Homo-oligomer: A and B are copies of this chain.
Amino acid sequence: MINVAIFGFGVVGSGTAEVLTQNAKLISERVGDDINIKYILDLRDFPDSPFKDKIVHDVDVILNDPEVSICAELMGGSHPAFEFSSAAMKAGKSVVTSNKEVVANFGPELLKIASENNVRYLFEASVGGGIPVIHPIGNCLTANDITEVNGILNGTTNYILTQMINENKDFGTALAEAQEKGYAERDPSADVDGIDTCRKISILSAMAFGKLVPPDKVQTEGIRNVTLRDVANAAKFGASIKLIGKAVRVGDKISACVSPTLVRHSNPLSGIGDVYNGVLVNGNAIGDVMFYGRGAGKLPTASAVVSDIIEIATFLTHPTHNVPVWERLSDDEILPADKLKSRWYLRFDKKPNHCLCMLDAEVIEDSEDCYAVVTGEVSLLEIGVTLSEKFTAMRVL
């Protein structure tokens, strides 16, 4: 059994406990051992939580327990996150975190402590929520000389900008609605003034170049001054305005900044709307590669935290390396694709003679043409049995 302690039982902390519990069986199989939440450190008590018995208020209980091998620091803020993480690593425990502030401010020191104590310090969840970004840059793009990283790194500002672009709402209105929906805080400054993006691009500068641009050296401008006139002008130019964190190497120097940016529609970042994030990395072999998904939220962020925990736990159970086992599926475990339910597009060579309504279909026809979109989920087998006409079918995703 591998024992884990969670530091901070807020949104991400409770999400982490939830994912570890809900997916316990498959996590056990992947790790080769059970992962047990032994402690949850928080100042508060949670009498109604199923995890109430795990709550401790004193970090020393965790630091002094040799059974705990992994700590998940999910408190946020630089202090005492830095002190607690340092102490845990000095006590021989690996640390995973979602805390971008402490990684941007103290990453060099924390990684040094990890190295000196032969433990891990992992922080996939600190950038892009659950989207794999840190690990792929650090492990899958290593053949590349990385030249530039551009990212939409904050879901709140991207939601506000999307509302300005698609719904023609001005900044103030879009912000107020984002606050109503819980996408923006009552004090929205960390998001709309670019502070959150600044910390994340600082971390990405270090991942890309091995050299961290400290957050206070990242020229940072938020989205408060973006007007609907800018949005309309950008559209005329074939671009969408996005808050972009940028880190780039120019000769032997590195530059990092955060600013509203006109992203042309030829750039894959331009199509990323709502609360989604995207990170576009350019390397000299790979060219452009982009990682996309939900950049925040309880379970997506917990996905990254728990995957980091699994990485460390797997190393503890398989000190050399864990080679995956692949079974080949037998026929009775395979669902043939014509039995797989889906929405469908049907093309008829000539107009069908009778109504397609028995298929729950939205039918669109014109004088010579006929096609139908089946909006209910059915299998191709069922359609074939129902229709007598000849048709070509394609799935709708």
Residues of A within 8 A of B (CB): 15, 19-20, 22-23, 26-27, 30, 107-108, 111-112, 114-115, 118, 120-121, 124, 130-132, 135-136, 138-145, 150, 205-206, 210-214, 217-219, 225-227, 229-230, 233-234, 236-237, 239, 241-242, 244, 246, 248, 250, 252-257, 259-264, 267-269, 271-272, 283-294, 297, 299-300, 302-307, 309-311, 315, 319-321, 323-329, 331, 333-341, 345, 347, 364, 369, 371, 373, 392, 394-397
Which residue in chain B gives the minimum CB-CB distance to A373?
A: B237
Complex-state Cα separation, A22 to B263, whole angstroms: 31
**Given A214-B329, A306-B143, A307-B142, CB of A285 within 8 Å of CB of B299:** yes
| Residue in contact with A233 in the complex, picked from B239, B303, B345, CB distance below 8 Å | B345
Q: Which chain B residues lie closer than 8 Å to A214 at the CB level?
A: 328-329
**Given A124-B140, A211-B333, A396-B264, CB of A294 within 8 Å of CB of B285:** no
Complex-state Cα separation, A225 to B349, whole angstroms: 13
Q: Could you name 11 residue pairs across A and B whose Cβ atoms are closer than 8 Å? A: A130-B286, A130-B289, A135-B140, A213-B334, A230-B371, A237-B364, A239-B396, A253-B334, A256-B334, A262-B394, A286-B300
Cβ-defined contact, A329 with B285, below 8 A:
no
Q: Which chain B residues lie closer than 8 Å to A392 at the CB level?
A: 225, 230
Q: Which chain B residues lie closer than 8 Å to A302 at the CB level?
A: 143, 285
Cβ-defined contact, B286 with A337, below 8 A:
no
Complex-state Cα separation, A396 to B319, whole angstroms: 48
Main secondary structure of the interface of A (DSSP, over half): mixed
Q: Which chain B residues lie closer than 8 Å to A236 at the CB level?
A: 364
Cβ-defined contact, A111 with B234, below 8 A:
no
Cβ-defined contact, A290 with B292, below 8 A:
yes
Which residue in chain B gives the minimum CB-CB distance to A347?
A: B230
Complex-state Cα separation, A252 to B347, whole angstroms: 32
Q: Which chain B residues lie closer than 8 Å to A341 at the CB level?
A: 250
Q: Which chain B residues lie closer than 8 Å to A306 at the CB level?
A: 142-143, 285
Q: Which chain B residues lie closer than 8 Å to A345 at the CB level?
A: 230, 233-234, 237, 239, 262
Complex-state Cα separation, A138 to B22, whole angstroms: 19
Cβ-defined contact, A286 with B293, below 8 A:
yes
Q: Which chain B residues lie closer than 8 Å to A323 at the CB level?
A: 111, 114-115, 120-121
- Scoring A241, A324, A347 by chain B CB atoms within 10 A of each residue's CB, the highest score goes to A324
Q: Which chain B residues lie closer than 8 Å to A335 at the CB level?
A: 250, 253-255
Complex-state Cα separation, A157 to B154, whole angstroms: 34
Which residue in chain B gives the minimum CB-CB distance to A309?
A: B143
Which residue in chain B gives the minimum CB-CB distance to A313?
A: B142
Cβ-defined contact, A27 with B293, below 8 A:
no
Cβ-defined contact, A321 with B396, below 8 A:
no
Q: Which chain B residues lie closer than 8 Å to A30 at the CB level?
A: 142
Q: Which chain B residues lie closer than 8 Å to A262 at the CB level?
A: 345, 373, 394-397
Complex-state Cα separation, A48 to B365, whole angstroms: 62
Cβ-defined contact, A233 with B327, below 8 A:
no
**Given A27-B143, A142-B30, A323-B115, CB of A287 within 8 Å of CB of B294:** yes
